[in-house]
Amino acid sequence: MSTSVYDFPLHRITGEAASLADYRGKVLLVVNVASKCGLTKQYEGLEKLYSQYRDRGLVVTGFPANDFAGQEPGSNEDIQAFCRSTYGVEFPLFSKIAVTGENTHPLYQELIKAQPKAISTAKESFRDKLKGYGMSINPEPGILWNFEKFVVGRSGDVVARFSPETLPDDPALLQAIEAELAKS
């Protein structure tokens, strides 16, 4: 029997038990997020994306992770307060998890296995940019940095993966989301 992204127990940022099965039949955008990252401003775009497409069946899901340069040091309560007050985040946030290393959450293990390579539409690869800053980075297929994005279709299949610098309004990401929303 194959494993699905719906199979993993999770917790909402407020502590209640949950799973992605709560969104079965929806298109999901799964994003590992951080509050103190140079990419944190993507929260604004993610919320706009969620507002724009949620009536058509898109659910943006945020998974805080403190795996990259300690850029998500706060508690779940701190993270939720920051996201709501600074960016008006209404999309579902989950409890902080690990998305890399030996403690990688099983959901992220499955996402990576399903889509081992991230799509980048940038002229300069984010991987090269991080190396230029002297940052220690994960080898592929691991998660490169905060704000990596996975598109999960209505059937629960992981259909695309986008690198961290891919903005929420990037045409390639929007095309992937709209293609899945068009399926019934």
What's the pLDDT score for residue 141? 85
Q: What is the DSSP letter of 139?
A: P
What's the pLDDT score for residue 129? 72
Ordered by start, the domain boundaries in the chain are 5-181
Q: For the chain, which residues score pLDDT lower than 50?
A: none
Structure tokens at 96: 């902080």
Catalytic residue list contains 37: yes
What's the pLDDT score for residue 184? 76
Instruction: Point out the catalytic residue in the list 22, 24, 37, 141.
Output: 37
**How do residues 134-143 score in pLDDT, each as one tens digit?**
777 777 789 9
**How do residues 69-89 score in pLDDT, each as one tens digit?**
999 999 999 999 999 999 999
Terminal Cα-to-Cα distance of the chain (whole angstroms): 24
Q: What is the 3-state secondary structure (H, E, C) of 34-103?
A: CCCCCCCCHHHHHHHHHHHHHHHCEEEEEEECCCCCCCCCCCHHHHHHHHHHHHCCCCCEECCCCCCCCC
What's the pLDDT score for residue 42? 98
Q: Which residues contact 37 (CB under 8 A, 6 or more apart)?
A: 68, 69, 71, 72, 145, 146, 147
- Portion of the chain with pLDDT greater than 70, in percent: 98
- Portion of the chain with pLDDT greater than 90, in percent: 85
Structure tokens at 146: 């905060």
What's the pLDDT score for residue 2? 67
Task: Tell me which CATH homologous superfamily contains domain 5-181.
Answer: Glutaredoxin (3.40.30.10)
